[in-house]
Amino acid sequence: MPELPEVEILSRQLRSKISGREVVSSKVYDHKLVNIKNIRGRRVITLERNSKMINIFLDDGNSISVDLCTTGRFLWQENAAKQKT
């Protein structure tokens, strides 16, 4: 489990990278969450840290809450067009 300062650092880094950007793709890996609304095309308004959770606020009023769990890893891909299928 990442410590609070590590979550804060990651939040600041992500905020500077994704605020104002559009979501070009997303994938849900948990079968219990398959009914989640597609966020493709939504724009990130801002990002905030709340305790050890990272909340990403979208332009349609929805948000994404990220719990870094035990590894503290967050995968980032700069260009979705470079994805291998």
Query: Where are the domains positioned within the chain?
Result: 4-26+36-72
- Per-residue confidence (pLDDT) for residue 48, from 0 to 100: 95
pLDDT at 47: 95
Instruction: Tally the residues of the chain.
Output: 85
Q: Which are the contacts of 71, defined by CB distance < 8 A and separation ≥ 6?
A: none
Instruction: Say what the pLDDT of residue 26 is.
Output: 81
Taking the chain (85 residues) in runs of 10, the rounded mean pLDDT of each run is 86 93 84 81 95 93 86 70 53
Domain 4-26+36-72 belongs to what topology?
Answer: N-terminal domain of MutM-like DNA repair proteins (3.20.190)
Write down the pLDDT at residue 80: 58
pLDDT for the residue 11: 92
